[in-house]
Chain A
Amino acid sequence: MTDSLRIIGRDDLPDNKLPEELGEKDLLEIFRSMVVLRVFDERAVALQRQGRLGTYALYWGEEATQAGPLYACSERDWIFPSYRQNAIGILRAVPASTIFAWWRGYGGREGFYNVREHRVGPICVPIATHLPHAVGVSWASKLRGERDASLVWFGDGATSEGDFHEAMNFAGVFKTPTIFFCVNNQWAISTPVHKQTALKVLADKAAAYGMPGIRVDGFDPIACWKATHDALERARAGGGPSFIEAYCYRLGAHGTADDPRLYRNEAEAANWKRLEPLARTSAYLKRIAVLDDDLESELFVDAKKSIASAVAEMEALEHPSLETLFDQVYASRTPWTFEESLRELQSVERPPEVKPLGAQPGPPSTGDADAPVGPS
C-alpha cells in the first residue's frame, strides 16, 4: 500500500498535502456523506437481524470509496453502483426508504428508482454486468458533444468477468469519459484477490486497455476524491477513461448470510480495522481543525434522524398488490397474458405476506432452505 495515493496519514506515515481544490466546506460534505452512508449501513444490518429486512450486503468500512469519488463527480455525471454501493443513491436524492424497501423485497415504485432522473444506475447484482452500461452512457454523452462523464463501482472479483474486459476495451478504443472505480477489498466472498488474478496490483490492468491506472488508499476518502477528480478532468478534456483501484479490506462479512470465519482469519480483518475510514477521517479533520466533537455528533444525530424516518416510511408501505407483479414489465401496453394471469391469481386465496428470514437463516413458511443465501 506504500505506492498508493494517500492524503490522510496512518500509523507512522504523516499526512500528505491536502489538494488545494478542497476547502473546509468540501471536506465536511465528504465527511457528512460518509456519516450518512455509515448510519444507513448499520441500521440496515440491525433491521436484517431483527427480521425486518432480507439478506443485506453491508459495506461497513468502504464509505471512503463511495463518498470520495461521488463528491468528485458533478451532478450531471452518471454513477453506476453494484450491490456493495447499494445506498449511494441516497446522496443523489433517491429516498433512503426506497433502498430499504429494495432490501425488504419491494420492487416497483417502492423499491426501484428512476435511473435517468437521478443519474444513478440500478443496484447491480450480477457481477461486472453494469460496466458496459457506464461506458455506453458516457460514450453517448461524448457522441452528443456533452460533457457528462460516468463512474462505475465494482469489486476485485469483478475484474475476472468478461464484461469487465469488454467494457474497459470499449472505453479505451472510443476514449469515453468513463471512470472505472474498482474497490479492491481483497475478497470476493471466500476467494482472496491473489486467487482472482496473478497480477499483484489491479491498477496495472489498465495498461492492457491503453488507459491510466492508479492505486489509492481505499480507506482515505480524500485520496479517493483526488484520483477521481483528476481522472474526470482528463476525461472531460478528451483524454478518455481511467481505472482507479481503491485498495482496502472487506472489514465485514460478504453479506448478512455469510460467515467469514469459515474461510479467513478474522484477526487479519481486525488488524485492518484500525484504518477504518470514519474514525480515521474524523481524527484527520480534527487534526486540521475542520471538525470538532460537537459538529461530529450533530452530523450523526442528523443522519440518524433522517435514516430513522426512512425506516418508518419503508415500514409504513402497504403490502404490494397482486397487480404489482405485472406492473412496469413493459413500458408499452401489457400483453394479454398478464390479464389472464392476474385473473388466475385473483381467483384463489392470497398467500400470507412474505416476511424476511431474519438473523438466523431458517426455513421460510413454505418449507426449507436454511442454507446461506448470499446477497450477491
Chain B
Amino acid sequence: MVEGLNLALDQAMAADDRVLVMGEDVARTGGVFRVTAGLLDKYGDDRVIDTPLAEAGIVGTAIGMAVYGLLPVIEIQFDTFVYPGFEQIVVHAARYAWRTRGEVPASIVVRIPFGGGVRAPELHSDSPEALFAHVPGLKVVCPSTPEDARDMLLAAIEHPDPVIFMEPKRIYRAGRQDFPEEPPFDISSADGVTTDYLSKARIARSGHDLALISYGATVPACMEAAERLSSERGVDARVVDLRSLYPLDVDTLVDAATACGRAVVVHEAPRTAGLGAEVSSLIHERAMLDLEAPVGRVTGFDVPFPQFINEDDYIPSVDRILAGCNKVLDW
C-alpha cells in the first residue's frame, strides 16, 4: 500500500503543479512510514515540506494554501497526533465551502496512518475515523488495497472537498498487488470523476448468504473469515469493503443486505457510536423486511486501545468475526 500511496503522490505532483506535500519528517526522510520517499528529490523543497512540530499549524496553513488555490496533501504522523489539528479540521476545513457559498472549499487531503497491530507504544494505534465521519463537510475514506490506495488518493487530491484519508498502517506493507500504473482518470481534467472514487464501496468477495461489511485493516480478516465460513459451514459470504466512510455507499449496502438477508459489520474502532452503528441502522431502516436477523457488530471495545501486549485481544480476530457471523447465522 505504501508504494500505491507514493505513486499517487508522485503522479499527482507531476501532473498538477498546485499539489504539494507537507508534514512532520515527510521531506528529508520521506516520512516515518516512507510514504513520501523520493518526492523531495523530484519536486524540491517548495513542494515537499518538513514543517515544525505543530498539527494545528500544519492543518491551518494548508487551509490557507488551499484558499489561495493550491492543493496541499498533509501527513499526520500517527493517528492520535491529529488531535491538536482537530479544531482546524472541524471548524474551518469542514466549513469553508459552506461559508463561501460553495465557491471556496478547503481542498486539502489529511492523510492519517491509523490503527493498531504494529506493537507500538501508547497513542500510536487509535482508530479515530468516526470522529471525522461525524463532522458535516468532510469526506472520510479508507482504502484496503494498494490499487485503491493509489486511485483513491489521486482522487482525493483532485477532489474539491476536504478529504480525511485514513491509511490502515497494519496493512501498509501487506501483500503486493499488480495494477496498471496508468492513473485511472485524466488528472488534469478530473473534475466530476473524483467523487466516484470517494463514494463507492467495493465488493471484495461475492456471496449471497451473509454480508460481511468492513474497511481498512479488518478487510483481510473478513476475507479469511469468509473462506472459513465457506469451508466450515458452506456459507457463502459477500465481503463489502466500504472504502468511503462518509458518505456511505447506501446502494451497495442495501443490495448486500437484501441479497443476503444477514449482515455483520466489522471494525477495529470502539463500538459505541462507531461506523458499525451507522451501517447497522441504515440497513435496518432500508432493508428490515429483507433481514433474517438483526445486523451484528464485531468491533474494538469501548476502552482505550490497549498497551500492545493486549492488542491482539482488542483487534477483531478471525475467530471473533466468525463467532459474530455464527451468531447472526444461527439467530
Residues of A at the B interface (CB closer than 8 Å) are 54-55, 57, 83, 102-108, 111, 123, 125-127, 157-158, 160-163, 188-191, 195-197, 262-263, 319-320, 322, 324-326, 329, 335, 337-338, 341, 344-345, 347-357, 363-364, 366-376
- Which of B53, B271, B303, B312 contacts A196 (CB under 8 A)? B53
Report chain B residues within 8 Å CB of A367.
117, 170-171, 174, 220
A319, B77: Cα distance in complex, Å: 30
Residues of A within 8 A of B185 (CB): none
The answer, yes or no, to whether B317 is at the interface (CB within 8 Å) is yes
From B120-128, B194-202, B228-236, give the one contacting chain A: B120-128
Known contacts A55-B120, A83-B121; is A190 also within 8 Å of B306 by CB?
no
12 further A-B pairs in the complex, CB-CB below 8 A; given A162-B84, A197-B52, A351-B312: A54-B308, A105-B119, A126-B123, A161-B55, A190-B25, A345-B320, A354-B312, A357-B118, A366-B315, A371-B173, A373-B118, A373-B119
- Which one of A158, A337, A347, A371 lies within 8 Å of B53 (CB-CB)? A158
One of B26-34, B66-74, B94-102, B133-141 contacting the partner:
B26-34
Q: Which residues of A contact B57 (CB under 8 A)?
A: 160, 162
Let me know if A325 and B29 touch, CB within 8 A.
no
Min CB distance A16 to B, Å, is 34
Distance from B46 Cβ to chain A, minimum over Cβ atoms (Å): 14
Is B28 in contact with A262, judged by CB distance below 8 angstroms? yes
Q: Across the interface, do B122 and A125 meet the contact criterion of CB distance under 8 Å?
A: yes
B118: chain A residues at CB < 8 Å are 357, 364, 369, 371, 373
Which residues from chain A contact B306 at a C-beta distance below 8 Å?
Answer: 107, 324-325
- Smallest Cβ distance from B233 to chain A, in angstroms? 16
Q: Please indicate the chain A residues that have their CB under 8 angstroms from the CB of B313 in the complex.
A: 322, 325, 345, 350-351
Q: Do residues A160 and B54 form an inter-chain contact, with CB atoms below 8 A? A: yes
Which residues of chain A have C-beta atoms less than 8 A from B131's C-beta?
A: none
Can you identify 5 A-B contacts, CB atoms within 8 angstroms?
A127-B81, A325-B306, A356-B308, A371-B33, A373-B118
A108 contact set on B, CB distance < 8 A: 307
The answer for the CA separation of A326 and B323 in the assembled complex, in Å, is 21
By Cβ-Cβ distance, the 8 closest A-B pairs, closest first, are A105-B309, A105-B308, A107-B307, A160-B52, A157-B53, A351-B312, A368-B174, A371-B33
- A351–B315 Cα gap in the complex (Å)? 10
Q: How far is the CA of A104 from the CA of B169 in the complex (A)?
A: 20
Q: Known contacts A105-B310, A189-B24, A191-B50; is A371 also within 8 Å of B83 by CB?
A: no
Chain B residues whose C-beta falls within 8 Å of the C-beta of A325 in the assembled complex:
301, 303, 306, 310, 313-314
| Residues from chain A with Cβ under 8 Å of B165 in the complex | none
- Distance of A364 Cα from B125 Cα, bound (Å): 14
Cα separation A107 to B119 with both chains bound (whole Å): 13
Residues in B with CB closer than 8 Å to A190 are 25, 28-29, 50
Q: Which residue of A lies closest to B37 (CB)?
A: A262
Instruction: Determine the residue in chain A with the shortest Cβ distance to B270.
Output: A337
Number of residues on chain B facing chain A (CB within 8 A): 57
Which residues from chain A contact B312 at a C-beta distance below 8 Å? 351-352, 354, 366
User: Closest residue of chain A to B174, judged by CB?
Assistant: A368
B169 contacts A371, CB within 8 Å? yes
Q: Which of B's residues lie within 8 Å of A, judged by CB?
A: 2, 24-25, 28-29, 32-34, 50, 52-57, 77-78, 80-81, 83-84, 117-124, 169-174, 220, 271-272, 301-304, 306-315, 317, 319-320, 322-323
Select from chain A the residue with minimum beta-carbon distance to B320. A348
Question: Considering the chains assembled together, what is the distance between the CA atoms of A138 and B53 in angstroms?
Answer: 26
In the assembled complex, the CB of B271 is this many whole angstroms from the nearest CB of chain A, namely: 7
Which chain B residues lie closer than 8 Å to A191 at the CB level? 24-25, 28, 50, 52-53
B52 pairs with A54, CB closer than 8 A: no
A125:B121 contact, CB within 8 angstroms: yes
**Residues of the B chain whose Cβ atoms lie less than 8 Å from the Cβ of A356:** 119, 308
- CB-defined contacts of B314 to chain A, threshold 8 Å: 325
Chain B residue numbers with a CB within 8 Å of A345 are 313, 320
Cβ–Cβ < 8 Å partners of A324 in chain B: 306, 310
Contact A351 B317, beta carbon cutoff 8 Å: yes
Q: How far is the CA of A279 from the CA of B27 in the complex (A)?
A: 36
Minimal Cβ-Cβ distance residue in A for B303 = A329
Least distance between B81 CB and chain A CB atoms (Å): 6
Q: A126-B83, A160-B53 are in contact. Are A106 and B24 (CB under 8 A)?
A: no
Q: Which residue of A lies closest to B55 (CB)?
A: A161
Q: Which residues of chain B are within 8 angstroms of A102 by Cβ–Cβ distance?
A: 121, 307
Known A111-B307, A371-B34; judge A161-B84 contact (CB<8 A).
yes
Cβ–Cβ contact B309 & A320, under 8 A = yes
Residues in A whose Cβ lies below 8 Å from that of B120? 54-55, 373, 375
- By beta carbon, the residue of chain A nearest B315 is A366
Q: Which residues of B contact A126 (CB under 8 A)?
A: 80-81, 83-84, 123
Q: Using Cβ atoms and an 8 Å threshold, which residues of chain A touch B173?
A: 363, 368-371
Whether A188 and B53, one on each chain, are in contact in the complex, defined by CB atoms closer than 8 angstroms, is yes
Q: How far is the CA of A111 from the CA of B306 in the complex (A)?
A: 11
Query: Whole-angstrom distance from the CB of B107 to the nearest CB of chain A?
Result: 24
Inside 8 A of B309's CB, which chain A residues have their CB? 104-106, 319-320, 353-354
Neighbouring B residues of A111 by C-beta, 8 Å? 307
Which listed residue, B78, B172, B303, B304, touches A376 by the CB 8 Å rule? B78
Q: B117 — which chain A residues lie within 8 A by C-beta?
A: 364, 366-367, 369
Q: What's the Cα separation between A324 and B124 when bound, in Å?
A: 19
Distance, CA A370 to CA B78, complexed state (A):
15
Q: Which residues of A contact B53 (CB under 8 A)?
A: 127, 157-158, 160-161, 188, 191, 196
Closest B-chain residue to A195, C-beta based?
Answer: B50
Whether A357 and B119, one on each chain, are in contact in the complex, defined by CB atoms closer than 8 angstroms, is yes
Alpha-carbon gap, A107 to B317, bound state (A): 21
The CA-CA distance from A77 to B124 in the complex, in Å, is 30
User: Closest residue of chain B to A112, judged by CB?
Assistant: B307
Shortest A68–chain B CB gap in Å is 25
Residues B28 and A162 in contact, CB atoms below 8 Å apart: no
